[in-house]
Chains A and B, each alone.
Chain A
């Protein structure tokens, strides 16, 4: 449990003249569940996207299980540019769940979950199907495997997206506001799935606005504001005894 699953040092990212991340340092232990909170535009999404190289940082290093992800520009970097295949292999080890689910509309639920096994892991169809069905059972949607995503509710689609990520057996799982696009009555079903994953000991980073979920599930909660980590603490402490004024006013606004 002590090995670092993710090690981030001095992460900077800007879009044009807008500095989104201004030096993030973060270490996540294997099996740890982290919740990222902060207002919109604080840099939560950008931080998660950098870990999977959907966004490439300007400065700073990211290690996942000790392996350098993306361009390394510290002094002892093995500074070779990674090939497309290398980057793709690294990404396949890091699962990502999007706010908008991003299921492929032209494939069935089963097709969505097993496609990466066929294409990326080069499994044969029977084996991929077996794994996909097992993952769909885990999120409670095995009965829906022949349906197309457009016939599912938002909550169901997000659970399929989670199953699709699980099928790849990633080392770490990143969730970018997975419940923010859902109707309020659909939030719970997705939260329940994430709680289950947390219980199973997966390494997870979840950007979320669901404070109750963060308090109940996270090992550690991190508050990001204007591109820097303002405060981090174990979940109970974080909500009951916030230290900084910025976090206090943020929690007050949410009245939790």
Chain B
């Protein structure tokens, strides 16, 4: 093995990657916000209307979950202007494509979260004289929001990685910038390694933020439990699924 790692090439061109990071963050954040709005809208409509009227929404969700993200992005980038006659700039059409993808996944997260609220809790409020909107606000949303956080985190982390596909269409985000460096210096291993670590960092930051939200929204907060202790608690919980003691 006389291969020599040349990470200095990556460090020397780091300003290029920084520009890419900025674009990736903008793409991802816009996608998350718009995707959340679409997801909420679709989930609520699906729960409110008769099944027949929900069919177009079901088709939307299944199409965007069941086809490759790359094709969705390419298709909307090239075909949306042809079909609708709208001339959109690259950023807008890419965000729309990704938000539609993310919204499809999120709508299922929201729908499941809302439906998981115990019917009895809703009946209790009904019996006390709450109106439907008051039940949503006081009973359904506080419980559903807390329970949905981990699943929303999953989708958000996926959205960050999904944005790497925009490189195919020449959007100068992180992956694209990495490929430029590779094209100039022929060092794919080193560049991809660093790019992957940057994605990991962004994904993990998102995870931490979601963990914070989960802690913030939890109704039973032990006052001696700081965020760090909460973090350790969660890490421990993932291991404690194994049977303990005599089984």
Q: Which residues of B contact A88 (CB under 8 A)?
A: 129-131
Q: Which residues of B contact A115 (CB under 8 A)?
A: 138
Q: Enumerate B116-143 residues with CB–CB distance to A below 8 Å.
A: 118, 120-121, 123-132, 134, 138-139, 142-143
Is B146 an interface residue, CB under 8 A from the partner?
Answer: yes
Give 1 or 0 for each of A90-102: 1 = CB within 8 Å of chain B CB: 1111111010101
Docked complex Cα distance between A84 and B131 (Å) = 7
Q: Enumerate A52-106 residues with CB–CB distance to B below 8 Å.
A: 52, 54, 84-85, 88-96, 98, 100, 102-106
Q: Which residues of A contact B118 (CB under 8 A)?
A: 102
Docked complex Cα distance between A91 and B121 (Å) = 15
Contact B130 A116 (CB under 8 A): yes
Contact B128 A106 (CB under 8 A): no
Contact A102 B128 (CB under 8 A): no
Q: Which residue of A lies closest to B127 (CB)?
A: A96
CB of A193, distance to nearest CB on chain B (Å):
18
Contact B220 A91 (CB under 8 A): no
Contact A92 B129 (CB under 8 A): yes
Q: Which residues of B contact A94 (CB under 8 A)?
A: 127
Choose among B120, B121, B129 the residue with the greatest number of A CB atoms under 10 Å from its CB: B129
| B131 partner, pick from A85, A150, A165, beta carbons under 8 A | A85
Docked complex Cα distance between A107 and B138 (Å) = 10
If A84-B131, A106-B146, A115-B138 touch, does A148 touch B126 (CB 8 Å cutoff)?
A: no
Contact A119 B130 (CB under 8 A): yes
CB of B143, distance to nearest CB on chain A (Å):
5
The total of chain A residues at the interface (CB under 8 A) is 31
Is A168 an interface residue, CB under 8 A from the partner?
Answer: yes
If A91-B126, A107-B219, A119-B138 touch, does A102 touch B131 (CB 8 Å cutoff)?
A: no
Contact A148 B129 (CB under 8 A): no
Contact A98 B120 (CB under 8 A): yes
Is A164 an interface residue, CB under 8 A from the partner?
Answer: yes
**How many A-B residue contacts, CB cutoff 8 Å?**
69
The total of chain B residues at the interface (CB under 8 A) is 21
B interface majority secondary structure: helix
CB of A95, distance to nearest CB on chain B (Å):
8
Docked complex Cα distance between A250 and B42 (Å) = 52
Q: Which residues of A contact B139 (CB under 8 A)?
A: 104
Contact A120 B129 (CB under 8 A): yes
Contact A148 B123 (CB under 8 A): no
Q: Which residues of A contact B138 (CB under 8 A)?
A: 115, 119
Q: Which residues of B contact A165 (CB under 8 A)?
A: 128
Choose among B118, B128, B138 the residue with the greatest number of A CB atoms under 10 Å from its CB: B128
| B220 partner, pick from A52, A84, A100, A148, beta carbons under 8 A | A148
Contact B129 A100 (CB under 8 A): no
Docked complex Cα distance between A150 and B131 (Å) = 26
CB of A24, distance to nearest CB on chain B (Å):
20
Docked complex Cα distance between A98 and B132 (Å) = 19
Docked complex Cα distance between A176 and B76 (Å) = 56
Q: Which residues of B contact A90 (CB under 8 A)?
A: 129
Q: Which residues of B contact A92 (CB under 8 A)?
A: 128-129
Docked complex Cα distance between A89 and B127 (Å) = 10
Q: Which residues of A contact B124 (CB under 8 A)?
A: 96, 98, 102-104, 161, 164
Contact A105 B132 (CB under 8 A): no
Q: Which residue of B lies closest to A164 (CB)?
A: B128
Knowing that A102-B118, A107-B219, A116-B125 are A-B contacts, what are 6 other residue pairs whose CB atoms are under 8 Å apart, sorted by A's residue number?
Answer: A98-B120, A100-B120, A102-B121, A106-B146, A116-B128, A120-B134
The 25 sampled A-B contact pairs (Cβ below 8 Å) are: A54-B126, A88-B131, A89-B129, A90-B129, A91-B126, A91-B127, A91-B128, A91-B129, A96-B128, A98-B120, A98-B123, A98-B124, A100-B120, A102-B118, A102-B123, A104-B121, A104-B139, A105-B143, A106-B142, A106-B146, A115-B138, A116-B129, A119-B138, A161-B124, A168-B129
Query: Which residues in A have some Cβ–Cβ distance to B below 8 Å?
Result: 52, 54, 84-85, 88-96, 98, 100, 102-107, 115-116, 119-120, 148, 150, 161, 164-165, 168
